[in-house]
Amino acid sequence: MRLFRLFTTLLLLALIVLFIRQNLVTFNKPLGFTLDLFIREQVQWTLPVSAVILLSAFVGFLVGLFLMWKPYRHARKSLQQERRENERLLKRIEEDAKEQASLPEEAAQESVVVSTDEPEPSPT
């Protein structure tokens, strides 16, 4: 399997090199660009075709990174919100547990104070 992968990779690289060598004249051909904003005079410049292809690939790469980063950022925000909600719920559970633990103690103290076995003397 490794040998097949190596052979396929080398074949693909050879095809890419062959394509570049065959089209080298075309890649070096200059392209003229004109920018006319109707505010100032026209701005003109030239770039080789290879530079235009590389610039478009770079811009596409940046757009792809941005589009991939957007869901990741949303996931991070929702995870932070979920963590805050979990912390809030844990604090509430701890407070309820402390409250539940203190209730039996208070009830025991009240039952000791309130309940007396001796009858009260009558005021006669």
Residue spans of the domains in the chain: they are 26-105
pLDDT tens for 66-76 read 999 888 888 88
Q: What span, in angstroms and rounded, lies between the C-alpha atoms of 114 and 23?
A: 102
Q: What is the DSSP letter of 32?
A: E
Q: Are 33 and 45 in contact (CB under 8 A)?
A: yes
Residue 76 pLDDT: 84
Residue-level pLDDT at 19:
94
Whole-number mean pLDDT of the chain?
A: 85
Q: Summarize the confidence of residues 31-44 as an average pLDDT.
A: 87
- Could you tell me which residue, 99 or 105, shows the higher pLDDT? 99
Structure token pair of residue 19: 């394509």
pLDDT at 120 over 80: no
At residue 107, the pLDDT reads: 61
How high is the pLDDT of residue 118? 59
What is the pLDDT averaged over residues 79-87? 92
Helix (H, G, I), strand (E, B) or coil at 41: coil
pTM above 0.75, yes or no: no
The pLDDT score that the predictor gives to residue 106 is 61
